[in-house]
Amino acid sequence: FLDANENSYGSPLPANYNRYPDPLQLDLKDAISKIKGVPIENTFLGNGSDEAIDLLYRAFCNPGKDNVIILPPTYGMYEVSANINDVEIRKVSLLPNFQLDLEKIAESIDKNTKIIFICSPNNPTGNSINREDIETILTNFKGIVVVDEAYINYARQKTFIQELTEYGNLVVLQTFSKAWGLAALRLGMAFSSRKVIDVLNKIKPPYNINQATQDLAFEALKNIDQVNTWIKETVTERERLSIELNALNIVTKVYLSDANFILARNGLRIGNGYQSGWFGYIIKS
Ligand SMILES: Cc1ncc(COP(=O)(O)O)c(C=O)c1O
């Protein structure tokens, strides 16, 4: 206990935070493992899933040489982290139905393509990506396939964490920031093969999850019933809001959502037709 030069008197708080936290967060991972059914050695915890995204670039991409594929419109951090890490981004737009353009993705891959980011349910479109299409990429692409499931608790489609044993190149991202209501704690999960998880653990900052976060998340996991109630309520309200939006004159299309948000198209009546466009609003409760 003397090797890290901490303060042996304690902390000026009711709880003691004078010791550095467990760098591998084993107690918390054990509790997560009981809920997710994924072994501890296949689980990485990050300071938000954003940390896992950044570490994946650092682990698998050579700056100035390698590239990754992203599928816009999608979550912004894939591009932000690529820029920070000097990794080329190749963008293959989703099809008009917001599904994968498998042909164009295949054309964009070369020997320096190291990661493909698939967000499902996708932010900002809200839909899940077809399972068979993700499986096609997992089977045919030899690099890392990230399936970002930040909104999976709200989805009709089931998670990919059951497929981890089948695909060594699969990384599933989940987070405590959405359904679990713990965005302020900054806690994200990456599930993958042992080989990938070992690399992430090797290159992460040693104490990336602070003790307060580990303690609070551990307590929160005991309240899973509350979280499940919120998920059900959110899904019911999502369906209700979709119907209400559809009934509005200025809304021309409400897209099917598998997330806790809804994408809608507005249309301003001009003469006999509509001038269609996106709402310029992000509505928050
Ligand atoms: C698709 C997606 N992935 C990841 C995140 C970030 O998660 P975290 O708070 O765990 O960093 C978000 C947040 O909005 C998101 O929409």
pLDDT in tens, the chain (285 residues): 678 999 999 999 999 999 999 999 999 999 999 999 999 999 999 999 999 999 999 999 999 999 999 999 999 999 999 999 999 999 999 999 999 999 999 999 999 999 999 999 999 999 999 999 999 999 999 999 999 999 999 999 999 999 999 999 999 999 999 999 999 999 999 999 999 999 999 999 999 999 999 999 999 999 999 999 999 999 999 999 999 999 998 999 999 999 999 999 987 655 555 555 555 556 655
- Tell me the C-alpha distance between 114 and 152, whole Å: 25
Q: Which helix (H) or strand (E) holds 91?
A: strand 88-91
What's the angle, vertex CA 255, arms to CA 254 and CA 261, rounded to 5? 95
CATH class held by domain 26-222: alpha beta
What's the angle, vertex CA 54, arms to CA 50 and CA 57, rounded to 5? 145
- Looking at ligand 1, which atom is closest to the CA of residue 74? 1
- Tell me the C-alpha distance between 212 and 12, whole Å: 14
Does residue 188 have its Cβ closer than 6 Å to ligand 1?
A: yes
Does residue 119 have its Cβ closer than 6 Å to ligand 1?
A: yes
Residue 46: name the closest of 214, 189, 159 by CA. 189
Does residue 126 have its Cβ closer than 6 Å to ligand 1?
A: no
Residues of the chain with CATH 3.40.640.10: 26-222
- Residue 64 in tokens: 């100035």
Contact 25, 211 (CB under 8 A): no
What's the angle, vertex CA 75, arms to CA 99 and CA 190, rounded to 5? 95
Mutate to test the pocket of ligand 1, among 77, 98, 171, 187 (most ligand atoms within 8 A of CB): 77
Does residue 183 have its Cβ closer than 6 Å to ligand 1?
A: yes
3-state SS class at 246: helix
- Tell me the C-alpha distance between 129 and 233, whole Å: 23
